[in-house]
Amino acid sequence: MTTLEHRRYRLGVDVGGTFTDVVLTGPDGRMSVRKVSSTPGRYDEGIIRGIGEALEEAGVTASDVVEVCHSTTAATNAVLERKGAKVGLITTKGFRDVLEVRRLRTPTLYDLFYEPPDPLVPRYLRLEVDERLDAGGQVLTALDPDEVRQRIEELLAEGVESLAVCLINAYRNPVHERAIREVVQAESPELFVSLSHEVVSAIREYERTSTTVANAYLMPVMNTYLRSLRDRVSAMGIDAPILVMQSSGGMMTSHRAGERPVFSLESGPVAGVSGALHLSKKLSMPNLLTFDMGGTTTKAAVIEEGDPLKSMEYEIGAPISKGSRLLKGGGYLLMVRAVDVAEVGAGGGSLVSLDAAGSFHVGPQSAGAEPGPICYDRGGKEPTTSDANMLLGYLNPEHLLGGSLKVNLEKTRRIFDEKVARPLGLSVLDAAYGVHVVANAAMARAMRSVTTERGRDARNFSLVAFGGSGPCHAAALARQMGINRVIVPTAPGLFSSLGLLAAAQEYEFVRSLMMVTGDGAVDGLVSGFSALEDEAAQVLRREGYDPKRLTFQRYADLHYAAQIHELTVPVPDSDSVQELKEAFGQEHQRTYGYRSDSEAIEVTNIRVVGRPDVDASSELEMESMGAALYDAGGARGRRKAYFGRELGLVETEIITRGHLSSEAIPGPVIVEEYDTTIVVPPGCSVRRDEGWNVILSWGQES
Amino acid sequence: MECNFELGARVLREHTFDPITFEVIRNALQSITDEMMLTVQRTGRSPTTTQAFDFSAALCDTNGDVLDQGLAIPIHMGGIPETVQAVLNRFGGDIHPGDVMILNDPYSGGLHLPDIFLVTPIIVEDEIFGYAVTVVHHMDVGGRAAGSMAHDSTEIYQEGIRIPPMKLYDRGKLNETLAEMIQLNVRTPEVVMGDFASQISANGMGSRGILDLVEEYGTETLKFYLRQLMDYSERITRQGISEWPDGVYHFTDYLDEDGLSDDPIPIQVALHIKGDSALVDFTGTSPQTRGAINCVLSQSKAMAYCAIRCAIGEDMPNNSGCFRPVEVVAPEGTITNMQHPASCAARGVTSFRLVDAVLGALAQVVPERVAAAPEGGTSTGRFGFRQPDGTIRVFYDNVFGIRGAWNSGDGRGGVASVGANVSNVSVEIIESQVPLRLRSYGYVPDSGGPGRHRGGLALAREWEVLTPEATITWRSDRRAFPPYGLEGGGAGKGSSNILKRDDGEELLPTKINTVLKQGDVFRHQSPGGGGYGNPLEREPQAVWWDWRNGKVTSAHAREAYGVVMDEAAGVVDEEATAALRRERG
């Protein structure tokens, strides 16, 4: 190793809609953090500023940075704001409308006026070619390159910048899609091209088309964004690769991210899960439920036996729902394996409302960052969750964010009384407590949709609470869900950017492989895997990796014959079909409560995940950072906080993380920090572990 | 629903419940039925469960009233209380932990034979708290035609195995006699038994969910709030109806025929609005038919509820409270209240038309709350393939999802019906599983009803048979009586069935039960949605956008909308358009 050894600084940069968080970590466990305003439209402005300030504060030279790990909402926003590229789609004759017809199901019921989002490619830019493969991949009608040429000329004449190609049954044989790319390369090499079998080689034409089109829509945007970011970072003197968070939880090169933007759309939410995964390993707590509560929404995900649970597809751009997974079809579908993050429209800024039939709701409407809750006194006039927390005495009634934000408690109380307490016929405190509880009920739905709905019992998990508002609600939410332990990590408000530094580089490759397990199926499986690994090695060589220093892990998507929905299980090294069936049987039992060993099992896809043997993420030491972040104590205080009718207003000690030790102290206690507040209700106890994590416990800790 | 602190406060003063516990339980309950639904969908075996979502899950109280139903099929909603009642009548005090009751017979609490209900008691300390119920549209229940959906059966006995309320599991033990009887009588025993397993698993999940709530709140408190939730939905419905002008509103819609005769089938509605309640009277509707398109009473009720709920348009908990303010009258012996031994396998086509008919009446009450007619529900069929081992493989497909236009928007082609929020089936999945090849699936230009807002474009789908012989039953409608327009909007284009062979094309009837040969191509074109408002008032730019996207041709733009396209320049000829519209207007 070179002198780099003692100059290994790493940057984590998480760009959200409102804030850009920058975390700088060094070899000595030092950490410097920066929260700056995001700069929509030119996100790199905010990033460069944040990086510059973080480096300056830490006194670190730009050239000592060895890695920049990044997550961004740039791609998601491009979809939401319809600022992607003008895309043309080429598809098989007879199937031009697959993209627009979708899967038909609507996210609302009894709604005569439901309108799905407009397709990302309007019909006049969706053109057909006369070609056809059968379900086995055999060519029925050969592709005519002249026809392709003509279609491409038509699309170019319309000003198309990016081309999506999705042909029926191309998941079985890519020959025609590849031939189309050859024509494009000869005719118009500057045109961006997304081929469906490369983006996601899996069965189901609508899902594959939708995913490929989204990729094409984002490719020019993300390419430009990432190239500009690379240039500007390098102009600062940082000579280091930029890695981008994928929705599946691993990092990829920024070059790959530009080619496969659909793989990084959930990068922000997943970065937080990655941080929790790191904790899970460090604390030897294999089962964690993440609870990421922000201003508008709350996100939940599950880490089970040390792995985040993933889903096969998700939607972007759908209106925020009340958490039901059944209400699908409101957004753009992506058939991309991603950490299963459930989201509900309940957060600190969620509005409190009462409907005409007497039911009381929190969210999904939100006061947003502007005007925000009433208590921030920036023009907010509608009661929110944060206002309730303020009235309950949970949040500091004078100021927030270390004093930088003054609070107007009187105004909050007045409006809350008029708009919530009196209509409900409750005292201000009982009404505020009700808001706290109802917000928890809404958030519990997100928690249930990643646990109970997938056959997992939430009570077997510990909760990791982060995001600005999470630690304020975590203890009460945990109690409601029967969860005994809550962990509030260091820097919970910046946990996502820290999570970026914890994630390993990882590349997933998928092939469709319709195969029924039985005698003789082993060969096909083995040769399928080795072919896929060869292909993966080639791609990764192009991304700058040494194939000899890569490790591949094998997975298969399986279902019982005639089922449609797969479960993904790791493939045992032995290549024994019997073991594979056993692994699937166990997973089916765990998820759905039964297994059916007499039935044949179909393998629909095989997956290979490649990881470099050496990865800087393994160096992350969150433990040593706590000491740098928190001082030993600070002033203690007291105020009254309200914990429901039975307990009433209780004199509560206000402390900082520095006051905590490994000795648990009983609630009520409130731990105030720069960007969050940890509420420990009566009956719950709190302590600090060696890694400066705050641990809350209901009842006896096991 | 809209935030309204003042009204909400009044309600709360009149009812003594804790609004916070109420909201917490409501969330929890909806999570439980979601979980039940997802379990059926993810573990089911048939394409109807795994892909199309043609199933429902609900939790009921001891009377069979629905406490909450998962969000999928309004068509099933009215049937569930009847089913639980039938189970109670049969087994009353003889229900125990580990029991799973089953039934499908429409004359004993079911809807039509393919919909098999499984009912699991939820037992708290030796007492029945309620029931977890799932109903799945099964792939095959025997009878004359593969898929058990033939329109041309004339008696229930021809339609498949009839299961009265029975125990499929008795204290945890499978009723093997019954299971063997069922397996022998259906063409796809593994698929049916697999779907049973998913239903039982979902019922178990629902039962556990309720037991968790009992543990948290206690039986009495939970029951209290469950009643409050029903009252809440009832209040929303009553508030909605009370805003409508009192009166009696009439509407008649028609089914083309029953597939066995050519006679149009009238569906007559008299909708009485009085104060905060409604009465839907189907008197005057056609007598029950020989063809299998008859509905049981609970089916007709469900469709009337569905229409009223659409016009109210508020989000509310999906429980029996929604129905209390609505009374339904359907005379015995009509297609809305069939009597033994009428057949009913293809009754879906009637169900959807009942919704259209009630909405037609509602359009006179609240024109801004109702859309023009949609495609008339799912055109759907079953294919049967004889396998080398003599068994029969059954597959399902459908064409639907075309909406009518409304006061401020076009109808869309690609949105499921309000009657059944089901999904289409992937072309690639079909081709990978059965010997069919899809030739096309897409929009039909000029097929949407013209209007200030255009009806959704019809969808057409073509199947080629790759095996020497395949049976097909296909049911469609709205050919002679296409989807109506509203407020001056035109009707959508009617449906068609076409058989393409080497020697030419043949127009087939709306409802068929036949055999296709290798190389035959069957094409179904759905109806287009109805238009809303005067088509001559449609923005020329909107017509241009449709033209640019190939949804409307130049000829249709001129004829239906009075818009003249300058094809060479690719723009609207504004002068010619203005002149033409003056001349027409």
Query: Left if phi > 0, otherwise alpha if psi is -120 to 50, otherwise beta: which for A517?
Result: beta
Residue B66 three-state SS: strand
CA distance A598 to B301: 42
CA distance B169 to B95: 11
Residue A697 φ/ψ, nearest 5 degrees: -135, 135
> Which chain B residue has its CA at the smallest distance from A434's CA?
B20
Report the pLDDT value the prediction gives residue B116, as an integer from 0 to 100. Answer: 97
pTM for the whole thing? Answer: 0.93
The whole-angstrom distance between A565's CA and the closest CA on chain B is: 6
Residue recorded with tokens 């004199």 = A651
The distance in angstroms from the start CA to the end CA of chain B is: 40
ipTM of the complex: 0.94
* pLDDT confidence band for A682 (50 / 70 / 90): very high
pLDDT per residue over A556-603, tens digit each? 988 887 676 788 888 877 667 788 888 888 888 877 777 888 778 888
Report the pLDDT value the prediction gives residue A521, as an integer from 0 to 100. Answer: 55
* pLDDT confidence band for A523 (50 / 70 / 90): low
How far apart, in Å, are the Cα atoms of A575 and each of A514, A555, A570, B575? 17, 11, 11, 74
> Which chain B residue has its CA at the smallest distance from A118's CA?
B412
For A3-79+224-264, CATH gives: 3.30.420.40
Could you tell me what percentage of chain A is helix, strand and coil, using 3-state DSSP and rounding each to the nearest 5? 35, 25, 35
CA distance A321 to A547: 44
Least confident range from A453-467, A660-674, B290-304: namely A453-467
Nearest one of A240, A251, A342 to A301, comparing CA atoms: A342
* pLDDT confidence band for A18 (50 / 70 / 90): confident
CA distance A270 to A320: 18
Eight-state DSSP code of residue A315:
E
Residue recorded with tokens 């916070």 = B20
Enumerate the residues of chain B whose CB falls inside 8 A of the CB of residue A355. Answer: 1-4, 7-8
* pLDDT confidence band for A466 (50 / 70 / 90): very high
Enumerate the residues of chain B whose CB falls inside 8 A of the CB of residue A358. Answer: 7-12, 15, 19, 232, 235
Ranges under pLDDT 70 in chain B:
1-3, 5, 7-16, 72
Q: Which of A95, A104, A340 to mutate to test the interface with B (most CBs of B within 10 A)?
A: A104
Q: Where are the domains of chain B?
A: 5-234, 371-538
CA distance B4 to A453: 33
pLDDT per residue over A628-647, tens digit each? 778 766 778 999 999 999 99
DSSP assignment of B7-38: HHHHHHHHS---HHHHHHHHHHHHHHHHHHHH
CA distance B451 to A512: 46
B111, B149 in Cβ contact below 8 A? no
Residue B548 φ/ψ, nearest 5 degrees: -60, -35
Report the pLDDT value the prediction gives residue A393, as an integer from 0 to 100. Answer: 96
- Cross-chain Cβ contact B315/A124 below 8 Å: no
- Cross-chain Cβ contact B413/A103 below 8 Å: no
Enumerate the residues of chain B whose CB falls inside 8 A of the CB of residue A111. Answer: 310, 313, 418
Beta bridge partners of A558: A567, A603
- Nearest Cβ partner of A434 from B20, B38, B318? B20
The whole-angstrom distance between A289's CA and the closest CA on chain B is: 17
Eight-state DSSP code of residue B218:
-
- Nearest Cβ partner of A357 from B71, B236, B415? B236
DSSP assignment of A55-115: HHHHT--GGGEEEEEEEESHHHHHHHTT-S--EEEEEETT-TTHHHHTT---SSSS-TT--
Report the pLDDT value the prediction gives residue A625, as an integer from 0 to 100. Answer: 73
Span A686-701, average pLDDT: 89
Residue B345 three-state SS: coil
**Cβ atoms within 10 Å, residue A15:** 26
The whole-angstrom distance between B554's CA and the closest CA on chain A is: 15
CA distance B103 to A468: 52
The whole-angstrom distance between A499's CA and the closest CA on chain B is: 30
Nearest one of B252, B269, B362 to B307, comparing CA atoms: B362
Give me A132's structure tokens. 């056809």
pLDDT over 80 (residue A349): yes
- Cross-chain Cβ contact B37/A326 below 8 Å: yes
Enumerate the residues of chain A whose CB falls inside 8 A of the CB of residue B197. Answer: 594, 596
Query: Left if phi > 0, otherwise alpha if psi is -120 to 50, otherwise beta: which for A482?
Result: left
- Nearest Cβ partner of A423 from B9, B46, B442? B9
- Cross-chain Cβ contact A358/B12 below 8 Å: yes
Strands (E), A542-631: 550-560, 567-570, 601-612
For A81-218, CATH gives: 3.40.50
Enumerate the residues of chain B whose CB falls inside 8 A of the CB of residue A96. Answer: 442
Nearest one of B435, B515, B520 to B470, comparing CA atoms: B515
CA distance B559 to B411: 20
Enumerate the residues of chain A whose CB falls inside 8 A of the CB of residue B549. Answer: 122-124
Enumerate the residues of chain B whose CB falls inside 8 A of the CB of residue A442. Answer: 27
Residue B189 three-state SS: helix
- Cross-chain Cβ contact B38/A169 below 8 Å: no
Q: Considering just the CA atoms, what is the radius of gyration of chain A in Å?
A: 26
Strands (E), A381-527: 399-400, 405-406, 462-466, 485-488, 507-516
> Which chain B residue has its CA at the smallest distance from A124's CA?
B549
Enumerate the residues of chain A whose CB falls inside 8 A of the CB of residue B462. Answer: 94
Residue A404 three-state SS: coil
Residue A198 three-state SS: helix
* pLDDT confidence band for A87 (50 / 70 / 90): very high
Domain(s) of CATH 3.30.1490: residues in chain A = 507-614
Give me A530's structure tokens. 């080795």
> Which chain A residue has its CA at the smallest distance from B422's CA?
A105
Report the pLDDT value the prediction gives residue A665, as an integer from 0 to 100. Answer: 96
How does the average pLDDT of chain A come out, rounded?
Answer: 89
Instruction: List, in sequence order, the alpha helices (H) in B366-452.
Output: 427-433
- Cross-chain Cβ contact A438/B20 below 8 Å: yes
Q: Please give the interface size between A and B, counted as residue pairs whose CB atoms are below 8 Å apart.
A: 276
CA B27 to mean position of chain CA atoms:
25
B460, B525 in Cβ contact below 8 A? yes
Q: Which of B68, B191, B415 to mutate to test the interface with A (most CBs of A within 10 A)?
A: B415
CA distance A97 to B438: 14
Residue recorded with tokens 């039925």 = B33
Enumerate the residues of chain A whose CB falls inside 8 A of the CB of residue B530. Answer: none
The distance in angstroms from the start CA to the end CA of chain A is: 44
Report the pLDDT value the prediction gives residue A520, as an integer from 0 to 100. Answer: 47
Peptide bond just before A364 cis, omega within 30 deg: yes
- Cross-chain Cβ contact B415/A116 below 8 Å: yes
Residue recorded with tokens 């089936």 = B425
A220, A259 in Cβ contact below 8 A? no
pLDDT per residue over A96-109, tens digit each? 999 999 999 888 88
Peptide bond just before B341 cis, omega within 30 deg: yes
CA distance B282 to A67: 73
Enumerate the residues of chain B whose CB falls inside 8 A of the CB of residue A564. Answer: 47, 50-51, 429
Give me B129's structure tokens. 């708290």
CA distance B94 to B96: 7
Eight-state DSSP code of residue B146:
T
> Which chain A residue has its CA at the smallest distance from B236's CA?
A357
- The DSSP H or E segment spanning A166 is strand A162-166
A61, B408 in Cβ contact below 8 A? no
- Cross-chain Cβ contact B22/A122 below 8 Å: no
Q: Which of B16, B25, B32, B42 to mutate to test the interface with A (most CBs of A within 10 A)?
A: B42
Residue recorded with tokens 């895309």 = A87
**Paired sense of beta strands B469-475 and B379-386, if any:** antiparallel
A419, B5 in Cβ contact below 8 A? yes
Calculate ∠ Cα B481-B486-B489, nearest 5°: 85
> Which chain A residue has its CA at the smallest distance from B457's CA?
A101
- Nearest Cβ partner of B31 from A206, A354, A452? A452
Report the pLDDT value the prediction gives residue A702, as an integer from 0 to 100. Answer: 43
Sheet holding B504-508, edge to edge: B436-443, B459-465, B521-525, B496-501, B504-508
For A507-614, CATH gives: 3.30.1490
Residue B534 three-state SS: coil
The whole-angstrom distance between B3's CA and the closest CA on chain A is: 4
Enumerate the residues of chain A whose CB falls inside 8 A of the CB of residue B414. Answer: 97, 100-102, 104, 116
CA torsion A457→A461→A465→A469, rounded to 10°? 20
Report the pLDDT value the prediction gives residue A107, as an integer from 0 to 100. Answer: 82
- Cross-chain Cβ contact A112/B12 below 8 Å: no
